[in-house]
Amino acid sequence: MKPSVYDRTHEEWVTWMKEMGEPAFRADQVMDWLYKKRVDSFDEMSNLSKRVRESLHEAFRLDPLETLTVQESRDGTVKFLFQLHDHHAIETVIMQHNYGNSVCVTTQVGCRVGCTFCASTLGGLKRDLTTGEVVAQVLAAQKYLDRKGGSRVNSVVIMGIGEPFENYDATLSFIRVINDTHGLNIGQRHITVSTSGIVPSIYKFADEGLQVVLAISLHAPNQELRRKLMPVSRRYPLEELLEACQTYSEKTGRRLTYEYALIGGKNDQDEHAHELGQLLVGSGALVNLIPVNFVPERNYTRTSRNQIFRFQKIVESYKVNATIRREHGSDIDAACGQLRAKHMDEEEKNVPTDS
Dist. CA 182–CA 26, nearest whole Å: 11
Q: Which of residues 255-284 bind ligand SAH (CB under 6 A)?
A: 259, 261
Torsion of CA 115, 121, 122, 127, to 10 degrees: -160
Per the annotation, the verdict on 245 as an active-site residue is: no
Q: For the purposes of burial, counting CB atoms within 10 Å of the CB of 162, is it exposed (0-12), middle (13-18) or buried (19 or more)?
A: buried
The radius of gyration of the chain's CA atoms, rounded to the nearest angstrom, is 21
196 sits near ligand SAH (criterion: CB under 6 A): yes
Residues of the shown chain interacting with ligand SF4 in the complex, contacts defined by CB under 6 A: 111, 113-115, 118, 120-121, 162-163, 196, 217
121 binds, among ligand SAH, ligand SF4, none (CB under 5 to 8 A by kind): ligand SF4
Dist. CA 66–CA 86, nearest whole Å: 11
Q: What share of the chain is helix, strand, coil (3-state, %, to 5)?
A: 40, 20, 40
111 is in an annotated binding site: yes
DSSP class of residue 221? S
Q: Which of 11, 44, 91, 239 is catalytic?
A: 91
Contact code string over 313-342 relative to ligand SAH, x by CB under 6 A: ----------------------xx------
Task: Rank residues 125 and 242 by Cβ distance to ligand SF4 and give the closer one.
Answer: 125
335 binds, among ligand SAH, ligand SF4, none (CB under 5 to 8 A by kind): ligand SAH
Residue 279: phi and psi, rounded to 5, are -65, -40
217 is in an annotated binding site: yes
CB of 325 to ligand SAH, least distance (A): 9
Dist. CA 198–CA 245, nearest whole Å: 11
Per the annotation, the verdict on 91 as an active-site residue is: yes
Q: For the purposes of burial, counting CB atoms within 10 Å of the CB of 205, is it exposed (0-12), middle (13-18) or buried (19 or more)?
A: buried
295 binds, among ligand SAH, ligand SF4, none (CB under 5 to 8 A by kind): ligand SAH
Q: Interacting stretch for ligand SAH, rule CB under 6 A, among 20-28, 65-73, 85-93, 190-198?
A: 190-198
Instruction: Give me the active site residues, please.
Output: 91, 336
Q: Which residues bind ligand SAH (CB under 6 A)?
A: 115, 117-118, 159, 163, 194-196, 217, 259, 261, 290, 292-293, 295, 335-336
